[in-house]
Amino acid sequence: MSLPPPVTGTPVPLRRRSVSGPLRIGVLVSATGANLNTLLGMREEHPGEFEVSLVASHGERVKALDVARGAGVEAWTGDFDRYCGTASAARDQHARARYRTRAREWHDGLDARLADWERHNGELDLIVLAYHRWVEGRLLERYRGRMINQHPADLSVLSETGGRAFIGKDPVRLAMAAGRPATRTSCFLVDETQDGGAVLAMGPEVPVGGRRPTTEDAWQQELEQKSRSDRPCLRWAVQAFAADRLALGDGTHPDGSRVVLVDGRPTPLGGRRLTEEASA
């Protein structure tokens, strides 16, 4: 583990918008709602500190939306695939350019809807992604420094070319195929890059054991990781954001990402590394 570069300039704090009351969280969802359930659990444990204010999806039949409605949270469906098509169907350069343009337009529309909602309901402090679409355009700009994502891989592991080794789809199986003895979840700030934003924290390592890099074994590894690494990683990051413990320094890591400061101290690439003992 390499040491972080020295901090030479003025840090940029990652701060909430509201000056009092609970941290107001919006969640973009795509699947079953595991991360949403983690946030709802934090709300139940600390009702004066955390509030899940709004949940939105790119789709209509998403289980996480039912989780939100069951908890009394306003939930928005979406029509992304009908408007944009799918990335897998965009096979040539022209189709990919059209898909990306339409996707940006769709997210700009979501941004406009969120801006109107905030005018009537107050600003959101933090956006948490549990979301299977790339975010670009005005939505990303609105929540820059206040939008985080969970990625089921150790984003401090770099390839021979200096980029992050396990980004994009299927990172758990890729890590297992590369011979990694354990996997873990990273929580990072969303920016224009592909899983390249500043890493705030990484959850506890989950040993691979006797599992092999097959589709089934990788899925079982990821399921275990959701409980043992995803949940504590997200909880720590949201709690740290709420307590104004996070900032970005001027320095960058070898992969080009910004150095994250925790309580004013620079962290190595990967941010705060959690262990099961520390997160229990």
Task: Tell me what the mean pLDDT of segment 99-122 comes to.
Answer: 97
232 phi and psi, to 5 degrees? -65, -30
Closest CA to 235 of 21, 13, 42, 34: 42
- pLDDT confidence of residue 4: 61
Per-residue pLDDT of 41-77, as tens digits, reads 999 999 899 999 999 999 999 999 999 999 999 999 9
Q: What is the pLDDT of residue 108?
A: 97
Closest alpha carbon to 225 in 185, 168, 186: 185
Q: Please, which pLDDT band fits residue 9 given cuts at 50, 70 and 90? A: low
| pLDDT number for residue 2 | 59
pLDDT at 20 (0 to 100): 84
Domain ranges of the chain: 20-145
Among 73, 14, 51, residue whose Cα is nearest residue 241 = 14
Q: What is the mean pLDDT of residues 109-129?
A: 97
- Alpha-carbon gap, residue 212 to 185, rounded angstroms: 19
Q: Which architecture characterizes domain 20-145 according to CATH?
A: 3-Layer(aba) Sandwich (3.40)
What is the residue-averaged pLDDT of the chain? 94
Closest by CA to 198, choosing from 143, 242, 262, 253, is 253
Whether 124 has a pLDDT exceeding 90, the answer reads yes
pLDDT, position 17: 87
pLDDT at residue 19 is higher than 90: no
**Which residue do the tokens 């402090």 mark?**
125
Average pLDDT over residues 151-167: 96
Handedness of CA 273, 21, 30, 280 (dihedral sign): positive
Give Rg (Cα) of the chain.
18
Distance CA 204, CA 231 (A): 10
Separation of alpha carbons 69 and 16, rounded Å: 25
Q: Give the pLDDT band of residue 8 (cuts 50, 70, 90).
A: low
For 85-89, 144-148, 227-231, 242-246, which range has the lowest pLDDT when averaged over its residues? 85-89
**pLDDT at residue 277, as a whole number:** 64
Token pair listed for 230: 């995803």
Whether 247 has a pLDDT exceeding 60, the answer reads yes
pLDDT at 3 over 90: no
Q: What is the 3-state secondary structure (H, E, C) of the chain?
A: CCCCCCCCCCCEECCCCCCCCCEEEEEEECCCCHHHHHHHHHHHHCCCCEEEEEEEECCCCCHHHHHHHHCCCEEECCCHHHHHCCHHHCCCHHHHHHHHHHHHHHHHHHHHHHHHHHHHHCCCCEEEEECCCCCCCHHHHHCCCCEEEEECCCCCCECCCCCECCCCCCHHHHHHHCCCCEECCEEEECCCCCCCCCEEEECCCEECCCCCCCHHHHHHHHHHHHHHHHHHHHHHHHHHHHCCCEEEEEEECCCCCEEEEECCEECCCCCEECCHHHHC
pLDDT given for residue 276 in this prediction: 75
What's the pLDDT at 18? 81
